[in-house]
Structures are given as structure tokens and as C-alpha cells.
Amino acid sequence: MNEEQAKTVALQALACLTRDPSALQRFFDLSGVDGADLRQRADDPAMLAGVLDFFLSNEAQLLEMCQATDMPAEAPAQARRGLPGGQSYEWS
């Protein structure tokens, strides 16, 4: 998956994240970013990688996001490998 395709998957994950206030707050708490920072950097590949990392760290949450976005379960890990720092990313 190239970077543009990876960004598209990550943007879908971000949209799903913003529709779940409790998950969004957990993301803020874990990442240290706030709403203004997230809005400003929504197209930043590093921020999008962080969004995918957030979902990939919790299988139940990942599967809920995949179902909500009609995304294959393997797509987020494939996308993560296409973003900065993900070349050696392993997920199973």
C-alpha cells in the first residue's frame, strides 16, 4: 500500500475516532494532543500513523472501527506500514 492509500485508510479511522467521544478522549490522553492539534495536523502522515497505532493497540476497538467503516480488518496494519515509521511494523 502506498502512502496516499495509507493516508486514505487512516483518514477513515480518524473520522471514526471523532464520532466516538470516549475513544477520542482516550486518544487525547494517550497521545498528548488536543482537538486543535488534531484538526491542524489531520493530514500529517505522522499524526495519521498515531491514529492507526491507537486502533491497532486494541483489537476490539480495531474491529469495531473496521466494521463501522466497512474496512477489511487487515487494512489498518497494511496502511500503518505505508506511513512514517511503519516499514517494520508487525501486526497479527
Give me the amino acid identity at 27. Answer: F
Q: Which residue has the higher pLDDT, 34 or 90?
A: 34
d(CA 41, CA 60): 26
Closest CA to 53 of 14, 5, 22: 14
Average pLDDT, the chain: 92
In this structure, the number of other CB atoms found within 10 A of the CB of residue 7 comes to: 20
Residue 91 has pLDDT above 70, yes or no: no
- Parse the chain into domains and list their residue ranges: 3-81
Per-residue pLDDT of 17-41, as tens digits, reads 999 999 999 999 999 999 999 999 9
The residues, any chain, with a CB within 8 Å of residue 55's CB and separated by 6 or more, are 13, 17, 61, 62, 65, 76
